[in-house]
Structure 1
Amino acid sequence: MIQIDKSISIILLFSMVLVMTVVEMYFSYVHDRKHYDKKDTFTNIYLMAAAFVINLATKAGTFLLLHYVYSNYRLFQIHNVFVYWTVLILAQDFLYWVLHYTGHYVRLFWAMHVTHHSSTFFNLTTGFRSTVFEPLYRVFFYLPLALIGFDAFDILFAYLITQIYGNLVHTQFIRKLHPIVEYIFVTPAHHRVHHASNLRYLDKNMGMVLIVWDRLFGTFQEEVEEEKIVYGLTKQPVDNGPVNIVFHEFIALYKDVKKAPKFMDKVRYIFYPPGWSHDGSSQTAKIMQQNNHYI
C-alpha cells in the first residue's frame, strides 16, 4: 500500500510539472518572451525519452544493487520516521551535489553531462534535456545511502522527488525570492546561473534542492543583475541534432586524448576538468575565473 501511495504521488507530481510547463509555454507565447523554440523543445523531449529508456533498462539492476547493500551491509537502522526521511533527503541531496560536481570537474563525466547544458534556451523543458547516460553510473554515487541504512525503494523515491523540484527551477519567469529562501534552497535565480556560459558563472550552483552545499564548498555564485546571462555552452556545437548533442564532447575528448604525446597526459584529458590541456592551449574555467578575479 505504501509503495502504491508513493507511485500515485509521483504520477501527480509529474502531472503537475507537465501542466506548469504548458502554462509557461502559453505565457511565453502571449507575452512574446521567446523563452521557447519549437526545435529546441522537441530536442529536449527526445533526449528525455532516450534517458527514460536507459533509466528503465537499468532500473532493476539499480534497485537490486541498492537492496543488496541495504540487506547485507547497512550500518544503522533508523526507526523514527521523521529522522529517517529528513536524513535521507539531506544525504541524497548532498550526494547529488557530489555527482553533479563530478559531472562538471571530470571531463569524462562532463562528456555525458554536457547534453543538459547544450540548450541556448532556458525553460521548464530544459530540465527534460537529460544526461542520457547518467542512469548507467548514478547508482554508485547513491550506494552510501543503502550502506547508512536506507531502503532501496525509499532512495529511489527521494531521488524522484528531488528531481521534480530540480526541474521546476528551470524557469525565467520567477525572479529572486525572499532572501532566506535564496540562502537555503536552490531557486530559479541560482539555477539560471548554473546554465550560463558567462565566465563568471561557469561551474557554479551544483545543488538540486539545497544551495547550502555550494555555499559550504565554494561553488556558489549569485545572479548578478548587471551581467546578462547567456545560456548554453562556451563552444556551441554546430550540429544541434540530438545525436551530435549527446556525442560531440566524446568526439572532442577522443581527439584530445589521441593528440596527447604522453600516456599520463592522455589520462589527464580523461579525468582532469574540461579545458585542461597538455600544452596550455586551453585552460579550465577555474583558472580563467582566477585570472579575471572572479574568485
Structure 2
Amino acid sequence: MEALREQLLILISTPVYLIVIGLEVALSHFRRIPSYTRRDTLNNLYLMLLNSGIDLLFRGVYVVALDWFFHRQLFHIENPFWYWLWLVVGMDFLFYWLHRVDHHSRFFWAVHVTHHSSEQFNLTVGFRSSVFQPLYRFIYFIPLALAGFRAIDIVFVFSATQIWGILVHTEHVGKLGWLEYWLVTPSHHRVHHASNPLYLDRNLGMLLIVWDRWFGTFQPEVEREHYEPIRYGLTKPIERPNAFRIVFHEWLGILRDLKKKVSLREKLMYVFGPPGWSHDGSTMTSDQMRAAESRHSDSEHV
C-alpha cells in the first residue's frame, strides 16, 4: 500500500511538473524574461539526480531509525483526519528549523548552498537539491516518530509537501492576496532566493509562512519603486562553476579558512558559525550586510 502511494504521487506530480515547466518556458519567451539557460537547467537536473541517488541509498537507514523511535512513541493518534493534519503541520514546522539551521550554520550551509547558487529563478531550480541533506534531514523528524507518526508516513508527507516547495520557484506568479498571510507563495520564495541584503535568510518555510511570521524571519517582497530589483544567487558567485565546484565550493572555502593562524574558537566559528563570519571582518554575515545596507540607506536620507 505504501509503495503504491509513493508511485501514485510520482505519477501525478511528474506530468504536472512537465506541464507547468513547459508553460513557464513559453511565458519566459513571450515576456522576454531570461528565466532559463541551458547550462543552468542541466546543472539543476544533475543536482536532482545526485540528491535522489543519495536519498534512495540512505532511505533504508533513516526509515529504520525513525521506525525505532516510532516504537517508543509517546502518543497515539487514532483519528485519521487529525493524524494526517498534525503530521503535515508538524513536518512543516520541523522543516522550518532544519532550513533555518541550514542558513545559519556554515557547516550545513555548505550542503544547502547548492540550492541557492543558481542566478536564475524558475521551476527547475526547485529540483536543484541540497545533495547531502538526506544524510541528516531525518534527525529533525525524530520528534514526529516519537509523537506517534509512522516512518513511512513521515517520508511520504515530506515528498508530498515538496511538490508545493518546487512549484513556488517561479517569477511568473504575482502576490496571491490573502494566501500571502498563510502559505509560502512564489513572492515569498523569490525573496528567499534573493542575494540582496534585505532578503538574505528570510522566508524559510516550505508550505506555511506562519513560522517565519512568528519567529522573526519573514520579509515581504518589496515593490521596485521602494527597493532595488531582486538579484538571485549568492552574495559571492562561484568561481568556475563546474560540476564539482557547485557541490563542494563552500567546503573548499572552509578548508582554506581552517588554514588561517587563528584560535581554536575562531576555527570552530569558521566551520559552525554563520556563513560569512570572519575573525577580521574581511567578510560579513547576512545580519552584518543588512545592518550595513540600513546604515547606508539612512545616511542617504540625512
Give the TM interval when normalised to the shorter protein: over 0.9
What's 2:23 paired with? 23
Residue 261 of structure 1 and its aligned partner are, at CA, apart by: 1.4
Q: What's the secondary structure of 2:284's corresponding residue?
A: coil
1:113-158 CA-partner distances (Å, limit 9, x unpaired): 1100000000000011100010111111111110111001110011
- Unpaired stretches in structure 1, ≥5 consecutive residues: none
What's 2:276 paired with? 275
Using the alignment, how far apart are the partners of 1:37 and 1:258 within structure 2?
37
Using the alignment, how far apart are the partners of 1:49 and 1:9 within structure 2?
18
Residue 254 of structure 1 and its aligned partner are, at CA, apart by: 1.0
Percent identical residues:
47
1:165-196 CA-partner distances (Å, limit 9, x unpaired): 10000000101111x20011000000000000
What's 1:91 paired with? 90
CA contact 1:124–1:168 (8 Å) conserved in 2: yes
Residue 260 of structure 1 and its aligned partner are, at CA, apart by: 4.3
| Root-mean-square deviation over aligned CA pairs | 1.4
Equivalent positions of 1:101-112 (< 5 A) are 101-112=100-111
Using the alignment, how far apart are the partners of 2:2 and 2:56 within structure 1?
21
1:242-288 CA-partner distances (Å, limit 9, x unpaired): 21110111111111122141111111111110111112222211122
Aligned length: 292
Q: What's the secondary structure of 1:26's corresponding residue?
A: helix
Using the alignment, how far apart are the partners of 1:6 and 1:246 within structure 2?
28
CA contact 2:164–2:207 (8 Å) conserved in 1: yes
Residue 47 of structure 1 and its aligned partner are, at CA, apart by: 0.8
Provide TM-score, normalisation by structure 2: 0.93
Task: Give the letter aligned to residue 26 of structure 1.
Answer: A
Task: Give the letter aligned to residue 186 of structure 1.
Answer: V
Using the alignment, how far apart are the partners of 1:31 and 1:221 within structure 2?
27
What's 1:203 paired with? 201
The answer to whether structure 1 residue 173 and structure 2 residue 172 are counterparts is yes
Using the alignment, how far apart are the partners of 2:211 and 2:269 within structure 1?
27
Residue 29 of structure 1 and its aligned partner are, at CA, apart by: 2.4
1:64-120 CA-partner distances (Å, limit 9, x unpaired): 11111102x110010011111111111100111011001100000001111000000
What's 1:141 paired with? 140
Task: Give the letter aligned to residue 256 of structure 1.
Answer: D
- Unpaired stretches in structure 2, ≥5 consecutive residues: 296-302
The answer to whether structure 1 residue 219 and structure 2 residue 217 are counterparts is yes
CA contact 2:116–2:193 (8 Å) conserved in 1: yes
Equivalent positions of 1:23-42 (< 5 A) are 23-42=23-42
Q: What's the secondary structure of 2:270's corresponding residue?
A: helix
Provide TM-score, normalisation by structure 1: 0.95
Bigger mean CA offset, 255-264 vs 127-136: 255-264
The 3 A distance-change label for structure 1 pair 153 and 116 is same
1:27-62 CA-partner distances (Å, limit 9, x unpaired): 222332211001110110011111111111101111
Residue 6 of structure 1 and its aligned partner are, at CA, apart by: 4.5
CA contact 2:96–2:211 (8 Å) conserved in 1: yes
Residue 201 of structure 1 and its aligned partner are, at CA, apart by: 0.6
Task: Give the letter aligned to residue 262 of structure 1.
Answer: S
Task: Give the letter aligned to residue 9 of structure 2.
Answer: S
Bigger mean CA offset, 257-266 vs 124-133: 257-266
Q: What's the secondary structure of 2:294's corresponding residue?
A: coil
Equivalent positions of 1:255-274 (< 5 A) are 255-274=256-275
Bigger mean CA offset, 9-18 vs 79-88: 9-18
What's 1:60 paired with? 60
The 3 A distance-change label for structure 1 pair 208 and 42 is same
Residue 2 of structure 1 and its aligned partner are, at CA, apart by: 5.6
The answer to whether structure 1 residue 120 and structure 2 residue 119 are counterparts is yes
Using the alignment, how far apart are the partners of 2:173 and 2:69 within structure 1?
41
What's 1:69 paired with? 69
Task: Give the letter aligned to residue 60 of structure 2.
Answer: A
CA contact 1:260–1:278 (8 Å) conserved in 2: no
Bigger mean CA offset, 35-44 vs 14-23: 14-23
Using the alignment, how far apart are the partners of 1:65 and 1:277 within structure 2?
37
Q: What's the secondary structure of 2:221's corresponding residue?
A: coil
Using the alignment, how far apart are the partners of 1:143 and 1:292 within structure 2?
39
1:212-258 CA-partner distances (Å, limit 9, x unpaired): 10111111111011221000000001212121110111111111122
Q: What's the secondary structure of 2:259's corresponding residue?
A: helix
What's 2:298 paired with? none
CA contact 1:58–1:136 (8 Å) conserved in 2: yes
